[in-house]
A and B are shown apart, each in its own frame.
Chain A
Amino acid sequence: MSVTIATRPASRTLFVSSFTDGILDPAGEMLGPIQDGGTLVANTAPGCWGPMITPRLRGGHEVTQPVAVEGAEPGDAIALRIRDIMVTSIATASGHDRWVDGHYLGDPYVAARCPGCGTLYPETEVDGIGKEAIRCTACGTAVHPFEVIHGYTVVFDDARRVGVTVDQTAAERIAREAARYAALPENSVQHSVLTLAPHDLVGVPVRLRPFLGQLGTMPGVRLPDSHNAGDFGSALIDAAHEFALPAEKLELRTDGHMDIDAVRAGAIVVAPVRVPGGGVYLGDMHALQGDGEIAGHTLDVAGVVTLDVEVLKGRQLEGPVLFPVYEDLPPLARPLTGLERRRAEALARNWGLDGIEEAAPISVVGTGPDLNAATANGIRRAANLLGMSTAEVRNRATVTGAIEIGRHPGVIQVTFLAPLRSLDEAGLLPLVREQYGIG
């Protein structure tokens, strides 16, 4: 596989402010390299709606240019410790979408087309506000592969703790200065979704709980960024556009587009390495989101992220593994308290056992075309990772964990307390010890 990594000396700290055009391309040039153990600081652009209304972007998102990590090779994993996530947008807008026939080829997320001149991925400019504002530079026709069928504009307080949805007057005032309110990074090329000024929900207060919708590594095959997951990626199989794939190539994905709300400050994501250097990328920051992202979109914002990278040599992974912060663990997957542990040990002794199993939380991500397929995928990955049968994973996730929905239609977490010996054999015990103080 052709991968371009610069031969510069590795940086201890790397600031990332450049973006892809929506495509994750293993043959493209990576930034870096960054040292194993180094710190990456990224100013990220909003995902989803902004790129969706910017036809020149081809992947549905505008993620950061991937970064090579010194020493990372296929068959390794990279641990990504999220130190901080800071929302910089002052306002954003979002809503449930409808695809608009005639404005795309096969898939509006990856192949927008001008309905006037037929140009694929046309250059566009913003003329005014509202859904007709984005126009083809060549022929002047409004290009909108998507419409907001029910949407809202939200403003945030200075501390980025709460937001409130605003009325038409305020939404339109914000729309006229969309890039400023969105705090679009200098190198972002997307049109701000604020331009559309949706205002169907008014006066709704919301609580911010920011996380990254995209965090991961370069897939082993060229993919539109929003399709680097088993659900949306399945739309590429034998598709009508240039990013069509046979089913087996989708196995080279890395599932960086998770939309799991536990991917927030304090969490550790362990991502598979499919290409030399790994290619760490991130973006699609969400100010908040309920499990499932059932509207299809949530509050996409710009923001600054700080994370540390560490190469785990020889830790081959089928997909991402997550060690959430304690309060994001499902109740049954939280380690026993001291009192619970003493009671369980006494109970075990009364029934003739030598003691109780030593275990700690792990969350394995599964993706697939629907939630059932994603669950089967996550269970199979967990079984392979921890050397147990799928039946054992099902039992453990039932009695000491949960299946949690990241995104509808097909991203889930299989979270449970796994035996320390299994975590040790999988090479993950140091991360468990660091995150939960166990082992």
Chain B
Amino acid sequence: MSTIARSAVRVRLGHPLQAPAGRSLLELELDDGATARDLTEAIGRRAPHLELLLQLALVVAAGKILRPDEEIPRDEEVALLLPAAGG
């Protein structure tokens, strides 16, 4: 029987997510090969009240915005950030 390895992922929450989440950092266990979408869905299951903000949030790792289907790089802190516009 094959088993999927799991790894701890450290997630930094951007400012608008911190107050409703009640914290600035999360640590999650995800299957190796998990994608950005897997991450936001896992957080949404843990904290359903964040769902609306999670739909707007960008998943960022190593200075790069990840596509929803993109794999989360190993050993990198991941950030969930709300985009800002400016002039």
A residues contacting B by CB (< 8 A) are: 47-49, 51-52, 60-61, 107-110, 226-227, 230-232, 234-237, 246-248, 250-251, 296-297, 366, 368-370, 372-380, 407, 409-410
Contacts and interface: CB of A to CB of B under 8 A. Distances in A.
Interface of B: 12, 14, 58, 60, 62-67, 79, 81-87
Given A248-B67, A378-B63, A380-B63, A372 B85 contact: no
B87 A61 contact: yes
Contacts, number: 87
A408 to B, nearest CB: 9
Contacts of B67: 246-248
A238 B76 CA distance: 25
Contacts of B63: 366, 368, 373-380
Nearest to A376: B63
Nearest to B57: A369
A49 B62 contact: no
27 contacts: A109-B85, A109-B86, A226-B85, A226-B86, A231-B84, A232-B84, A234-B58, A234-B81, A235-B84, A246-B67, A247-B66, A250-B65, A296-B86, A297-B87, A368-B63, A369-B58, A369-B60, A369-B79, A369-B81, A369-B84, A373-B63, A373-B79, A373-B81, A376-B62, A380-B63, A409-B84, A410-B84
A372 B14 CA distance: 10
A251 B60 CA distance: 13
Contacts of A109: 85-87
B21 to A, nearest CB: 16
A52 B86 CA distance: 10
Nearest to B65: A247
B25 to A, nearest CB: 12
Most chain A CB within a 10 A radius of its CB, from B14, B58, B66, B87: B87
Contacts of B87: 47-49, 51-52, 60-61, 109, 226, 232, 296-297
